[in-house]
Amino acid sequence: MAAKVPGLIITADDFGLHPRVNLAVELAHRYGVLTTASLMVGAPAAADAVARARSMPKLRVGLHLVLADGDAIAPHREIPALLNAHGRFGENMARDGVRFFCLPNVRKQLAREVRAQFDAFAKTGLMLDHVNTHKHFHLHPTVLGLILEIGRDYGLHAMRLPLEVGAPLWLRPWIAMVRARLAREGIAHNDYVVGIAGSGQMDEAAFLTALKALPSGVVEVYCHPAVEADTPLSDGMQFYRHADEMRALMSPRVAAAIGAASVRLGGFSDVLCTRR
């Protein structure tokens, strides 16, 4: 594997969640600085996202695995232990994490769903740029292990390391575990990420502040752009400023700051030199 070079990856998560997200991704890529998107293959607007991605060959697309607060891909009769009364993944990640670790039958169903999402992405025909998880559930060792095991069959070569400068001390051992596991498996990753503490608030000012203080190495800035509307995309995003994030991605000031930073801009496959 080639050595890392200083670089910048700018990612939109939740690609496929809603047509508003998909349009924002397209605009921010065609007319802004967005290089990468993470696709929710089971989301309501996934087919629209794939169609748009196919029209943008320079947009790098990865798999945004959803195992909490979202829709499943596998037939519900095959994964009943993973779903709530509404047929969706629940939001109690602490409880589910314990069940993933302790209950073999739940792990088996979890593996079925992880494979189903990888398979759904493969069927799009898009090149797999990277993998990450909704709400960074791959910090859980069972989830990470299944991704690494199953991902080998689908060309997995890069993942997001959710290490933000200033991350709380309690979280750092978990992130160190992920970093060590990725290194053992030969999976490339960014060195730092920007966007966790400011989730849903990555406006122009936040981008410019981050770009002035980029840590050394490969940095991924991720956000949740969407075109403006009167209703939130979900209950958990009521205070997200999606349209401000889209405008930041299309800001001439942000583009100029990236140019001045003299970093290599692209997707994981470009910046980490891992394209096969």
Summarize pLDDT for 222-257 with one digit per residue, the tens.
Answer: 999 999 998 989 988 999 999 999 999 999 999 999
Euclidean distance between CA atoms 222 and 263, whole angstroms: 16
Instruction: Summarize pLDDT for 174-221 with one digit per residue, the tens.
Output: 999 999 999 999 999 999 999 999 999 999 999 999 999 999 999 999
CA R_g for the chain:
18
> What confidence tens digit (pLDDT) does each residue in 44-75 have?
999 999 999 999 999 999 999 999 999 999 99
H/E stretch holding 61: strand 60-65
Q: What is the CATH number of domain 7-66+129-271?
A: 3.20.20.370
Nearest CA-CA partner of 126 in 42, 41, 66, 44: 41
d(CA 145, CA 178): 10
Question: Any idea what the Cα angle at residue 42 is, between residues 38 and 44, rounded to 5°?
Answer: 95
Q: Can you tell me the distance from the alpha carbon of 83 to that of 106, in angstroms, rounded to the nearest whole number?
A: 11
User: What are the tens digits of pLDDT across the range 92-134?
Assistant: 999 999 999 999 999 999 999 999 999 999 999 999 999 999 9
- Taking residues 152-160, report their average pLDDT: 98
Tell me, what's the pLDDT at 161? 97
Q: Is the pTM of this model over 0.85?
A: yes
Q: Name the residue ranges covered by the structural domains of the chain.
A: 7-66+129-271
pLDDT in tens, 5-24: 589 999 999 999 999 999 99
Burial 210-244 (b: 16+ CB within 10 A, else e): bbeebeeebbbbbbbbbeeeeeebeeebeebbbbb
Residue 235's pLDDT is what?
A: 86
Q: What is the mean pLDDT of residues 136-161?
A: 97
Query: Does the structure show a pLDDT above 70 at 276?
Result: no
**Rounded (to 5) percent helix, strand, coil in the chain:** 45, 15, 40
Q: How far is CA 39 from CA 45, 126, 184, in A?
A: 10, 10, 26
Which of the four pLDDT bands, split at 50, 70 and 90, describes residue 262? confident
Residue 229, token pair as written in the block: 């509307």
In the predicted model, is pLDDT for residue 3 greater than 90?
A: no
* 211, 258 Cβ separation under 8 angstroms: yes
Confidence band (pLDDT; 50, 70, 90) for 275? very low
What's the full length of the chain, in residues?
A: 276
Looking at residue 273, what is its pLDDT? 66
pLDDT above 60: residue 1: no
